[in-house]
Amino acid sequence: MHTFDDIEIRRPELATSYLSLLLAQPGRPIALFAPRRVGKTYFLDGDLTPAAEKMGFLAVYADLWLNRTFPLDAINQALEEALDDVNVPLSRLGKIGKTKVKRVGALGASLELGAAPRRRSLPEKPELRMDSLIARLAADSDKPILLMLDEIQALGHSAGGEAAIATVRAVLQKHKKKLVAVFTGSSQEALGEMMMSAGGPMYQFAQLLTFPFLDIEFLERLASHFRKVHPTKTLDIDALQKVFAHIGFKPALMKDIVKEMSAEGMTDVNLALAHFMQDERNFLAWQSVFSGLQPLEQAVLIILAHGIAPMGKETISVLAAVPTVKATLAKVRAALDRMRKAGILANPPKIGYMIEDRLFRDYIAKTYIPNYIAAGKLIQTSST
């Protein structure tokens, strides 16, 4: 039976356009930015990979968040798995076909197989291993490689980050005739800093592009399936669009909200969003994140949720007067940076610090209210 979860939006034209761009600028990757949970990985797997394979590429995907401390190991793991797939056939017959025959007896009564040829071991150092793996994979597959590095900003946050970034650039540059590369990142400032910092290893190496959100077609598909389930009821597309934008264009989350609407038989998407916000599971998750923060971080988060500039002169004066906080400008900056690195905050250019999860922001704004008794004197946080 067809369900909401079976609804898929494929974007082959977008995939083809990215591949055409890569082929038009040999040696220069593209770096796709979009916030988390908007479909980047889904696109790499479901659209870019099949499009690349159709064009004769061997597609290799590596999620650098698999090993944030040593992301080069995550890249090498993906390359090694791809090399295994190329060189180790799944069937016994395939294995025999890969092995040289040493001697055949009369009428084929006996068959002696020679030892499989052995190559020198791969280097142990991750930097050299990546270089060798790409060379070996290209040679053994006899195909150009599409290397997709998801959440590439993890390189900059790793131990020896600049060295790891330099390694990736050097290896990709060395093998530019054998492969093309696509990076993705969910932190616009981290990705931009990596690619645009003058003097940095990746400076102007990749072309930065904004990955597009799903458009109205996705919402129309949801509404169409809703009508099939509830023939007498209709969802308002304009209302769906507003809520979709409010939650940050996250397709999986939008599906969850519409599924709840279908289960309850309701058509008011704003009411469904309110129900979602009141769900105990969400409440406990958000409260757990908030409770795990330091007092200053909590105060800064409340300020941001209410649209107050966290580093304004008046704000710093108010925070300095709170006994449990006693903030300074330097401490507020440090708190902002810690929460940015933890993925709680984003810091887009020209916008400034903001809470990454918009529903978490709504929860904070509704639950905790900053009360200014007098400018520069006190800020209190009270639960509603």
Q: Are residues 240 and 314 in the same domain?
A: no
Q: Are residues 173 and 33 in the same domain?
A: yes
Dump the DSSP string for 261-281.
Answer: HHHHT---HHHHHHHHHH-HH
| Rounded alpha-carbon distances, angstroms, from residue 5 to 48, 161, 204, 222 | 21, 38, 39, 10
Structural domains counted in the chain: 3
Residue 111 lies in a domain: no
Rounded Cα distance between 61 and 75, Å, is 8
Q: Are residues 76 and 17 in the same domain?
A: yes
Q: Are residues 233 and 199 in the same domain?
A: no
Q: What is the pLDDT along the chain (384 residues), one digit of tens a residue?
A: 589 999 999 999 999 999 999 999 999 999 999 888 999 999 999 999 999 999 999 999 999 999 888 999 999 999 999 999 998 865 544 555 555 554 555 444 555 555 555 667 899 999 999 999 999 999 999 999 999 999 998 888 777 778 889 999 999 999 999 999 999 988 777 787 787 776 778 888 999 999 999 999 999 999 999 999 999 999 999 999 999 999 999 999 999 999 999 999 999 999 999 999 999 999 899 999 999 999 999 999 999 998 888 998 888 888 888 788 888 999 999 999 999 888 899 888 778 899 999 999 999 999 987 664 334 344 544 444
Rounded Cα distance between 210 and 205, Å, is 16
- Structural domain of 333: 292-383
- Cα atoms found within 13 Å of the Cα of residue 210, Cβ hemisphere only: 6
Residue 352 lies in a domain: yes
Residue 81 lies in a domain: yes
CA angle 25, 27, 33 (to 5 degrees): 75
For the sheet containing 58-63, what is the strand order? 58-63, 145-150, 179-185, 30-33, 207-210
The structure's pTM equals 0.84
Q: Are residues 43 and 178 in the same domain?
A: yes
Residue 49 lies in a domain: yes
Residue 353 lies in a domain: yes
Q: Are residues 329 and 238 in the same domain?
A: no
Q: Are residues 25 and 168 in the same domain?
A: yes
Residue 19 CA to its chain's centroid (Å): 20
Q: Are residues 189 and 57 in the same domain?
A: yes
Residue 132 lies in a domain: yes
CATH number where 370 lies: 1.10.10
Q: Are residues 183 and 319 in the same domain?
A: no
Residue 102 lies in a domain: no
Q: Are residues 11 and 62 in the same domain?
A: yes
Q: Are residues 149 and 64 in the same domain?
A: yes
Q: Are residues 347 and 230 in the same domain?
A: no
Residue 260 lies in a domain: yes
